[in-house]
Amino acid sequence: GENVEQHPSTLSVQEGDSAVIKCTYSDSASNYFPWYKQELGKRPQLIIDIRSNVGEKKDQRIAVTLNKTAKHFSLHITETQPEDSAVYFCAAPPFSGGYNKLIFGAGTRLAVHP
């Protein structure tokens, strides 16, 4: 089955710095890679996703890069702000079962200090 590994588990940055979170996956047939943000006490929400036919996608201060050969994808947050503080999860759908579910990484707790 799919195994999604995420690093680092915690990340502390100064406001204005960049933050990078990395994930690797095991199922080479996986073709969709979302990132979710979960603020304390709230439900996870999608912040950006990428499909296997592109290598990079940007949305304002957030970008995701994908390396299919190496089976890893990364979340990049530039010009971090205190409101970016949250737990971030990467995820990938395993091919087995026809892509009908999502496996999450362990999560990264990001702290942005003013």
Partner 1 sequence: SAVISQKPSRDICQRGTSLTIQCQVDSQVTMMFWYRQQPGQSLTLIATANQGSEATYESGFVIDKFPISRPNLTFSTLTVSNMSPEDSSIYLCSVGGSNTEAFFGQGTRLTVV
Q: Is 24 near partner 1 (CB under 8 A)?
A: no
Helix or strand (DSSP H, E) at 57: strand 56-59
Shortest CB 39 distance to partner 1, Å: 12
Q: According to the binding rule CB under 8 A, does residue 88 interact with partner 1?
A: no
Q: Does 68 bind partner 1 (CB under 8 A)?
A: no
Q: Is the dihedral of CA 2, 64, 45, 78 positive or negative?
A: positive
Among 32, 81, 82, 113, binds partner 1 (CB under 8 A): 32
- Cα separation, 64 vs 62, in Å, equals 7
Tokens, residue 109 = 């707790």
User: Which residues of this chain interact with partner 1, rule CB under 8 A?
Assistant: 1, 31-32, 34, 36, 42-46, 49, 89, 91, 93, 97, 99-107
